Each structure stands twice: as structure tokens, then as C-alpha cells.
Amino acid sequence: MLVPHRNFNLINEIRDSDIFAVTYPKSGTIWMQQILTPIEAKGDVTPNTEHLNAQRVPWIELIGSEKEFNATPSTRLWVTHLQYKFMPLAVRQKRGKVIYVARNPKDVLVSYYHFHKYAAMLEMPKDFNDFFEKFMEGKVFGNCWFEHIKTWYANRDNMNFLYITYEEMIKDLRSMVERMCRFLGKDLTEEQMASVVEHSTLRTMKQNPQANYKTVPDSLLDHKGTFMRKGMHVTPWTIGDWKNHFTVAQSERFDSVFQEKMRDLPLSFTWDIN
Ligand code: A3P
């Protein structure tokens, strides 16, 4: 399991060129790992087929030592599920750049439920209802979804911060890659841009073993399940799958908790919560 094993506030060797993709689990993390490398490599997708996501865009939670962190050459691409308060202080003082990807939490919950069923390092849920309760209480790895998005978004002015959603990426991947490039100050040619987009579709990623954990040992992931749960169909299957899982009562309860917890957040969500 990805467990923060040290105080990341101590890591202050953050460079202005550092790029952090921040997600709550199941919100498009691996997708960001897939996209950021070829953006940085000006459309070259070779590293994506030759190296694991976690080698190209490592988890800061899993960095072995501060020395290792500091020794990594620029441009450093990082990914993390950490809650805001655990981020290195320098990131919270505008060093580096942060791209936060949010996803409809109901779909996050469903995706996470299925992931628990085949990820050996996570506790097998008794059933969907059991997992629903744990998620609502934040008793899952990654803690509380509501806290995660609230604290990251509320502190956006302390960082160089871009907020995007999984749903926007599904609807128009090209525009979102362009937006990321503008934010990161990367000027890609038409051909380079097309290469990034083509290699970041669900269809391409499903066929790339490096992109969907196919090389992770069976002891960690039961490969009878699949990381990219859905087939080649992108919409509507990865948006709104919660409707196939939630009862009406669960949906209504979720909506009311959502309204309550998100009340003070000056953010209009682009996903269809209902
Ligand atoms: P589902 O379980 O709903 O299929 P993370 O990487 O944060 O764990 O998120 C995993 C989710 O992102 C999975 O959702 C997976 O299918 C989806 N995903 C990964 N790459 C994608 C892509 N290129 N297009 C659409 N969805 C993608």
C-alpha cells in the first residue's frame, strides 16, 4: 500500500521546474502519468512504452530517501495522492507546478470499490454497501475524498495550480492537453500534440502493458481484474457508472453529504453529480 512513511514537509529541495500531478485515488492518476511524460519529451512516446509509469513519474510517497529525491535530474515529474498538509512546504510556497485532477466522487467510489477487489494490498470489501460506508467515512487509503479536494482547492493561491477534471479530459482530451501545455509553458508542434493525445486515449493505454500495471506481480494485483475496467468504449462507460451501483437512497445520501461538505468551496463542478 502507498503509505507516507516520512514527513514530506522535510523535503524542501523543490525546483521551479518540478511538476506534481495530484489526485485522490481512481481519479485519473495513471492517465496523468501517461500524458506528462510525452508532453515533457515533446511528443516522444518511446519512454511510455519502455518504462513503467512509476519509473517515469514516481510517487513522492514512495521516494526512498531525501538524497534520492534531490539527486533526480530535472525535469522531475511526480505524482501523489497525499493530502495537502503533507506536501513539501516549498510546493505550498509556489515552488514547482501542481496539476490537480478531480473526478466525480460517485464514479471514484465505484472505481475504487472494484480496485479493492483485485488489489491484494487493499482490504477486500464485504460488499458494495460496506465499501460505500467506508468511503463516506474516509476510512480508505487516501483518506476522505471531501477533505482532499477541499484542502487542495482552498489553498490553490499558495501554489502554481491548475485544476482540471477527469470528465473534461474524457470530453475533449486535446483541449485539456493544450491547457496543460500552456500551464507548464510547453510549446508543442501540431504533430507533437497529436502524438501526446493519440497515446493517451483509453484504447492505446489498454494495449500498453506499462500503462496499466500488467507487469505488476500477481501477489500485488490479481490480474483477473483489469486496471482499465472499461472496454474500448470511453463514454459513457467511465462517466456515470455509479448509476449502475448506487441505490436511490445511497445517491440521495451522497448528494446531501456533498452539498454540506462542499458548501464553502467556490467551485462549480463540471460533472453531472446526479
Ligand atoms: P474505472 O475504474 O472507472 O475504469 P487512477 O489511475 O487514479 O487509479 O484511476 C483509474 C481510473 O482511470 C479507471 O477508471 C481507469 O479506467 C481510468 N482511466 C485510466 N486511463 C484512462 C484513459 N486514458 N481514459 C479514460 N479513463 C482512464
User: Is 60 exceeded by the pLDDT of residue 247?
Assistant: yes
Spacing, Cα 66 to ligand 1 middle (Å): 30
Please, are residues 59 and 2 in contact by the beta-carbon 8 Å criterion? yes
- Candidate of 37, 228, 232, 235 to mutate for ligand 1, largest count of ligand atoms within 8 Å of Cβ: 228
- Candidate of 2, 22, 24, 26 to mutate for ligand 1, largest count of ligand atoms within 8 Å of Cβ: 26
Distance CA 130, CA 211 (A): 30
ipTM here: 0.99
Distance CA 198, CA 235 (A): 17
User: Is 50 exceeded by the pLDDT of residue 146?
Assistant: yes
Q: Is 27 in the pocket of ligand 1 (CB under 6 A)?
A: yes
Contacts of 114 (CB under 8 A, 6+ apart): 225, 229
Q: Is 29 in the pocket of ligand 1 (CB under 6 A)?
A: yes
pTM for the model stands at 0.91
pLDDT digits (tens, 9 = 90+) for 79-112: 999 999 999 989 999 999 999 999 999 999 999 9
Nearest CA to ligand 1 atom 1: 111
The pLDDT of residue 224 is: 58
Residues acting as catalytic residues:
81
For 272, counting Cβ atoms within 10 Å of its Cβ (0-12 exposed, 13-18 middle, 19+ buried), the class is: exposed
The pLDDT of residue 64 is: 77
